Structure 1
Amino acid sequence: MSDDADDRPAEPAENISGGPDGGGESVVPGDAESAESRAEAVVDELGEMYWQKAYGGQDAFECLVRTILSQNTSDKASQPAHDSLMSRYGGDETDLAESLADAAQDELAETIASAGLYNQKSETIVRLANHIVDEYGGEDGFDEFVKSGDPDEVRDALLEMKGVGPKTADCVLLFAGGRNGVFPVDTHVHRIARRMGLAPADADHEQVRQAMEAAVPGEKCGFGHTAMIQFGREYCTAREPACLDGPEACPLVEYCDQVGVDELSGEVVDPSEVVADD
């Protein structure tokens, strides 16, 4: 393993789940050879391939909005929507929650159109903004709650908000609250963890989260999440994982059970289908 962080690729400049806007500072690299679980070894290897950071520090309400915008779309599409929203409704002297609570939904929908599902997302954002103002007095009160409140209580409160699912709640806890032991599960993490055998093949998103958080030290969960996303984009894609080109094509092949991947036939199915066929 290299000790030189410069050997790893730079984080994407536009990446709401990482990059310079992801918050946090670099942490001491882990050593896969001394990992206490295969999941931890995978995370250590991913950290060497990409980056290792301790996250936290983002504004909680803005983080919530960013994550809503990212739902069912790519960073490439959601980042311009976030930038447009902040340009129109944000500002140094502006309470973003109050501003969005007063926003006309049709105008907000037009502003965030590049993120897709803009009518649904604009409705959710306006509703959440009103809730944040009514319940916490605005973005500062919400930020204080997320960063200093009991993590379980914060997560429960987030999940009670209509339009906020587990992945969104966990991203707010990680990127705003800086909470160790939080491993958000998006579509990439869900696919890779089950394909590699780090979680049961038929596990849902919550079960994958529980499996990863149980097997990966808390301080490694944040960069494990962001690096696994990047690995899913570059190597372990849904339809054409790199291992189809041979074991040497995937840097993590030694850790992978390749559940649902048939190298000989080239067939790739969701890991859950393997369980269904048994």
Structure 2
Amino acid sequence: MSDDPEPAINISGGADGGGMATDFDPATAETRTEVVVDRLGELYWQKTYGGQDAFTCLVRTILSQNTSDKASQPAHDALIDRYDGTTVDLAESLANAEQSLLAETIKTAGLYNQKSEILIDAAVWVLEEFGSASEFDSYVRGESPSTVRETLLEVRGVGPKTADCILLFAGGRGGVFPVDTHVHRIYRRMGIAAPSATHEEVRAVLERDVPAAKCGFGHTATIQFGREYCTARKPACLEDPEACPMADVCDQVGVYPETDEVVDPADAPK
């Protein structure tokens, strides 16, 4: 396993974001999907997650929507500096925030007007439903994952990936494999999920084929792999099949080295 620490500019928050390092034996893998996840764990990191504050995690995940971690991280830091006080919890601060000032604070995250409205609405919802951010945190950690997920999906601006990130990084729930654009692309490109599979269909395949304890680092390590090797437009295998550590377990759906062409797996010829 790599000695490189998990980057702090990551929805997991890196080494300070909660969770703990864990070792797994790749020889015990029972599916091709598990082989991929084990190999990613050896390439990057193996961690079980949990321990983040649920509302802070919700804020961080909303800020990360439709943008990169490098863009959303400064917005997150600026928001925490301005609104996370010692006498008033973050949910109360954001519920009473001036929308234009909040928008200016999170400007680097993109879609800042929309996201500022969503954050204020989410804060008001937390206070109305749970009374405080700490009670919301207790709910996320203590209620059944399916119930928490259903509840979160009723909140404006919270989709499946955001709900699953909260369950994983705050709730510490095993068996949750959030699907972002990297995860969605990579497991269809590998041929593990159907080329036309939706985000939810990819999630169902991964949560079926990957042991619960490995889903967390499977998610974060896949994202890192997508940034370094299996990029959307120029995957490493396009020029050199040997350059990708997953070459022997990948079907290269939509990747054509002979013509230097890459298409979304859904658009690949049948």
Q: TM-score, normalised by structure 2?
A: 0.98
Kindly report which structure 2 residues correspond to 1:187-226, keeping only aligned pairs within 5 A, or say none. Answer: 187-226=181-220
Instruction: State the distance in 2 between where 1:41 and 1:68 align.
Output: 31
Instruction: State the distance in 2 between where 1:177 and 1:93 align.
Output: 24
The residue number in structure 1 matching 2:52 is 58
The residue number in structure 1 matching 2:20 is 25
The residue number in structure 2 matching 1:15 is 10
* Cα displacement string for residues 230-265 of structure 1 (whole angstroms, at most 9, x for unaligned residues): 000000000000001222110110110000001111
8 Å CA contact 1:8, 1:48 repeated in 2: no
Amino acid of the residue matched to residue 234 of structure 1?
E
The residue number in structure 1 matching 2:133 is 139
Which residue, 112, 135, 140 being the options, matches 2:106? 112
Q: Give RMSD over aligned pairs.
A: 1.0
Instruction: State the distance in 2 between where 1:209 and 1:8 align.
Output: 28
Q: Quick check: 1:257 aligned with 2:251? A: yes
Amino acid of the residue matched to residue 34 of structure 1?
T
Instruction: State the distance in 2 between where 1:245 and 1:17 align.
Output: 31
**1:30 CA displacement:** 2.9
Structure 1 segments unaligned to the other structure (5+ residues)? none
**1:18 CA displacement:** 4.8
Amino acid of the residue matched to residue 15 of structure 2?
P
Instruction: State the distance in 2 between where 1:30 and 1:56 align.
Output: 22
Instruction: State the distance in 1 between where 2:205 and 2:3 align.
Output: 27
Q: TM-score, normalised by structure 1?
A: 0.95
Which residue, 161, 165, 168 being the options, matches 1:167? 161
The residue number in structure 1 matching 2:79 is 85
The residue number in structure 2 matching 1:75 is 69
8 Å CA contact 2:53, 2:137 repeated in 1: yes
Instruction: State the distance in 2 between where 1:36 and 1:146 align.
Output: 31
Instruction: State the distance in 1 between where 2:13 and 2:250 align.
Output: 24
Amino acid of the residue matched to residue 9 of structure 1?
D
Amino acid of the residue matched to residue 37 of structure 1?
T
Instruction: State the distance in 2 between where 1:52 and 1:225 align.
Output: 11
**1:93 CA displacement:** 3.1
Amino acid of the residue matched to residue 108 of structure 2?
S
Instruction: State the distance in 2 between where 1:30 and 1:241 align.
Output: 28
The residue number in structure 1 matching 2:41 is 47
Which residue, 231, 241, 244 being the options, matches 1:247? 241
Instruction: State the distance in 1 between where 2:156 and 2:3 align.
Output: 39
Q: Structure 1: which 4+ aligned runs deviate by more than 4 Å? A: none
8 Å CA contact 2:118, 2:156 repeated in 1: yes
8 Å CA contact 2:5, 2:15 repeated in 1: no
Q: Secondary structure at the match of 2:256?
A: coil
Q: Quick check: 1:230 aligned with 2:224? A: yes
Instruction: State the distance in 2 between where 1:95 and 1:9 align.
Output: 34
* Cα displacement string for residues 87-143 of structure 1 (whole angstroms, at most 9, x for unaligned residues): 110033321111100001001000000101000000000000000000000101100
Amino acid of the residue matched to residue 188 of structure 2?
R
Quick one: structure 1 residues 230 and 18, their matched pair in 2 at CA, closer, same or farther if it must change by over 3 Å? farther
8 Å CA contact 2:67, 2:110 repeated in 1: yes
**1:28 CA displacement:** 1.6
Amino acid of the residue matched to residue 113 of structure 2?
N
Amino acid of the residue matched to residue 28 of structure 1?
D
8 Å CA contact 1:9, 1:49 repeated in 2: no
